[in-house]
Amino acid sequence: IKLALFLNLPSLWLSDRMKRIILQMLGWIGVANVPSLYRIKKIMKQAVELCCNSTRSFKTLTGKQVFYNSIAYTIRLQLAHPKTWEHLSFHPNLTGPINDLASCGKW
């Protein structure tokens, strides 16, 4: 997985041909179990599906293509960020309706 991450760094622009050459050179110098480029791409695709907020798309009834992100993933990221966490305040969980002034004090 480390090799897959290295070959897919955003700051390291490598074509598929260059990646194949690197993998072939690793085989030549005796590195054991060098994966194929297909395997590396498959690993990275699985990693993105597990870790990233994948944009989903669907067609509306009118036929328009709409894209959206998961709100649960976005909230999870915000809750995990320490600088955002300082500014969040949580309200109490009310079990029944607020019907008198004493109940409003919970808010």
Specify the higher pLDDT residue, 30 or 100. 30
Report the alpha-carbon distance of residue 69 to residue 71 in Å, rounded.
Answer: 6
- Phi then psi for 58, rounded to 5 degrees? -155, 165
Q: Cα 12 vs. chain centroid, distance in angstroms?
A: 20
Give yes or no for a contact between 44 and 8, defined as CB atoms under 8 angstroms apart: yes
Q: Is 60 exceeded by the pLDDT of residue 107?
A: no
Q: What is the pTM of this model?
A: 0.45
Give yes or no for a contact between 42 and 49, defined as CB atoms under 8 angstroms apart: no
What pLDDT band is residue 15 in, cutting at 50, 70 and 90? confident
pLDDT tens, position by position, 21-78:
888 888 899 888 888 888 888 887 787 777 766 677 888 899 899 888 777 777 777 7
